[in-house]
Amino acid sequence: MSDYEVAIVGAGVVGLACAARLAARWPGRVLVLERHEGICREASSRNSEVVHAGIYYPTGSLKALTCVRGRRMLVKRCRDLGIPLLACGKVIVASAADQLPALEELLAQGRANDVEGLEVIDAERLRQLEPGTRGVGALWSPASAVVDSHQLAASLEAEAAHHGADLVFGAEVVGVEPADGGYGLTVTQGEETTTVSAARVVNAAGLGADTLSTMVGIDIDGAGYRQYACKGTWWSIAPRHNHRLSRLVYPVGRAEDPGLGIHGCFDAAGGMRLGPDFVFVEAGDDGVDLSVPEAARAKFLAAGQRLFPWLEAEDLSPDMAGLRAKLVPAPKQWRDFVVAEESARGLPGWVTLVGIESPGLTAAMALAEVVGQRLSSS
C-alpha cells in the first residue's frame, strides 16, 4: 500500500487549492511537497492579485470556464472567511476612436463567457467613474476585483491541514519511479534524500511542471508540455497618489501589446502599481533574474501616461517581477490551461497541470475541482 493516496507537488495557490479539496476526500492521506520553505514563493506571490472576470478567453476554453467559476468560488470563500476582497471592478479603456470596435468585441466575448454586468461606456461616463483616466470610451466590468492573495492561500493551506494533509517544505522532488501500483517520489530535503509513495500524483509545480513531467517519462515536446518563462515587472506609483484610482484601469489591447497591456492596479491598502510587461526570458546558472530593469522606465511611463495624464516620471519606482509559465515561446500565440490525467500515457492517477499562467490565481479553486474530476474518472 502507498504511503499516501495523493501527493501534490507544489504549494503555490493551485497546489494548495488541490490540497484543500482532495484532503476533504482522503482525510489524513494527502501529502504536499514544496521545495521552498513556505507556501507561494513563486508565481502565486508575484502577480497583480486581480480577480479576473473571465472576459478575454475563447468561450468553452478551460481558461474561460475555470476563470468564471473560480471567481465565483473565490468571492464566496472571501465573504465566508473574511478574506480581504476589493469589489472595485475594472475599466478597459480605449485611448483612440479606432479602438472602440475592440470594446464591442470584448463585450460580446465576455457575455458569451457568462461574465456578469459588462457594459460599454462613453468618455463622459468613464470620467464619472474614474476622473483621472484619459480615454474615449471603455468596457466597464463590475465583476473584476482585487484579492489579498496571501490570505487566500493561507486559508487553503489551513483547510488542507484541517483535513489532515501533510505539508512538507524545503522538499524538492528530484525523481519519480513506479511503485506499489502508484508512484515513488525521490525527495531531497537539505542533505537528506528519501522516497515516498503515493497512489496518485498531482503535478502542480508551476514553472517546474515540465521538468517533473520529464521525470515521470513524458515526452514534453510530443505532449506540448514544454513551458517558457515570461517575465512581468511592475513599477510602483508614488504614495502621494494612493487611492487615486478606485477601479482597475486596463488599456484595450493594442497591436504591439502581447499581454493584457500595462495597467494600473492597486492592493488592498490603496498602494498603486503599473504593470506587468511581457518579456520572454531564459534561465541562467542562478535561475531567472527577477530584478526590475531600469531601462524599462520609459516604456512604463509612456504606457502609464496614455491612461493617466497626471503621472510624472518621478512617480515611478521599480517594484517586483514574476514569471508566467507559458506553453508558447512567443507573444501573440494562445494555448489553453492543460489539466490532464495521464492514463493514456500509461500513467494512471498522474495529473499534469501546465501552462497555468493568468488567470490561474482567479481560477485556482475551479482548477482543483477539475483535478478532482479527472481523478474520479481515472
Ligand X SMILES: Cc1cc2nc3c(=O)[nH]c(=O)nc-3n(C[C@H](O)[C@H](O)[C@H](O)COP(=O)(O)OP(=O)(O)OC[C@H]3O[C@@H](n4cnc5c(N)ncnc54)[C@H](O)[C@@H]3O)c2cc1C
Binding site for ligand X (CB under 6 A): 9-15, 33-36, 40-44, 46-50, 52, 172-173, 204-208, 212, 232, 276, 322-324, 356-362
Q: Cell match 493551506: residue?
A: 157
Of 42 and 315, the one with the shorter C-beta distance to ligand X is 42
The residue nearest ligand X at its CB is 360
Q: How far is the CB of 98 from ligand X (least distance, A)?
A: 27
Q: How far is the CB of 1 from ligand X (least distance, A)?
A: 24
Of 107 and 215, the one with the shorter C-beta distance to ligand X is 215
**Residue 362: its H or E element:** helix 360-376
Of 130 and 357, the one with the shorter C-beta distance to ligand X is 357
Q: CA 33 to CA 275: how far, in whole Å? A: 31
Q: Which of 42, 135, 50 is nearest to 86 (CA)?
A: 50
Q: How far is the CB of 53 from ligand X (least distance, A)?
A: 11
Q: Which of 217, 233, 207, 236 is nearest to 311 (CA)?
A: 236
Q: How far is the CB of 97 from ligand X (least distance, A)?
A: 29
Of 94 and 173, the one with the shorter C-beta distance to ligand X is 173
User: Packing angle between helix 360-376 and helix 13-25, nearest 10 degrees?
Assistant: 30
Q: DSSP for 65-131?
A: HHHHHHHHHHHHHHHHHT--EE---EEEEESSGGGHHHHHHHHHHHHHTT-TT-EEEEHHHHHHH-T
Of 46 and 163, the one with the shorter C-beta distance to ligand X is 46
Q: How far is the CB of 327 from ligand X (least distance, A)?
A: 12
Q: CA 19 to CA 165: how far, in whole Å? A: 7
